[in-house]
Amino acid sequence: MAIIKVKGVEFKEFNTKLSSFRKALQIKNNIVKTLNNAFNLTDDDVEVTIQKLPIRRVKAEFTWWMEGYKLYYSYSQGKNYADNLYIISKVIEGKAQEVIDGKLEMNDFCGLFREEEDVAQQRKDARSLLGVEETCNDLNIINKKYKLAAMKAHPDRPEGSEEKFKALNNAHKILKRELE
């Protein structure tokens, strides 16, 4: 099995033959168990909707509340919903272990996953500003579009604009955070 690295966490690839509603539910329960063990969170502190057909290629999203913050992580680069949810579980598990081991501060953990209420709209606007499709999840394409647009909008250029340059940087940062 291949090793995957997401957000600095390495883990084994998910076996897609195990993609079922029951397996997706088990993965969700493992995330809750991880958060409970590390931070004393319960089912009441999390929000996730399990897809009835986890073999569909759709984004998985996981939201939880901790330390007064709404924390959120989504992933859509996997083969299917169960794969995406598995990757979310491994990222949360890895980062929670870093907190337990003292390698990551609680504030930094929260900062990795803290999202504003309108994050979905921000991501949509960011894709629009960079000139990529709403469904584009390829960071290489987004990086290329960003570099071209940023080069044209750079304040040192005759046609450049500091406001546009800052907006492009912010849009790129929003999408990079989502897709890394």
Length of the chain measured in residues:
180
- The answer to whether 66 and 91 are in contact (CB under 8 A) is no
Structure tokens at 162: 């500091």
The strand pairing partners of 12, in sequence order, are: 3
The predicted model gives 75-83 an average pLDDT of 88
What pLDDT is attached to residue 30? 94
Which tens digits make up the pLDDT trace of 114-144? 877 677 788 889 999 999 998 888 888 999 9
The yes/no answer on whether domain 119-179 falls in CATH 1.10.287.110 is: yes
What pLDDT is attached to residue 128? 93
Burial class (CB in 10 A: 0-12, 13-18, 19+), 101: exposed
pLDDT over 90 percentage in the chain: 48
What pLDDT is attached to residue 69? 87
Band of pLDDT at residue 53, cut at 50, 70 and 90: confident
The predicted model gives 48-67 an average pLDDT of 88
Domain limits, the chain: 3-113, 119-179
What pLDDT is attached to residue 54? 85
Most confident of 20-29, 68-77, 88-97: 88-97
Is residue 57 over pLDDT 90? no
Question: Taking the model in full, what pTM does it have?
Answer: 0.74
Band of pLDDT at residue 1, cut at 50, 70 and 90: low
The predicted model gives 57-65 an average pLDDT of 90
Mean pLDDT of the chain: 89
CA distance 128 to 117: 19
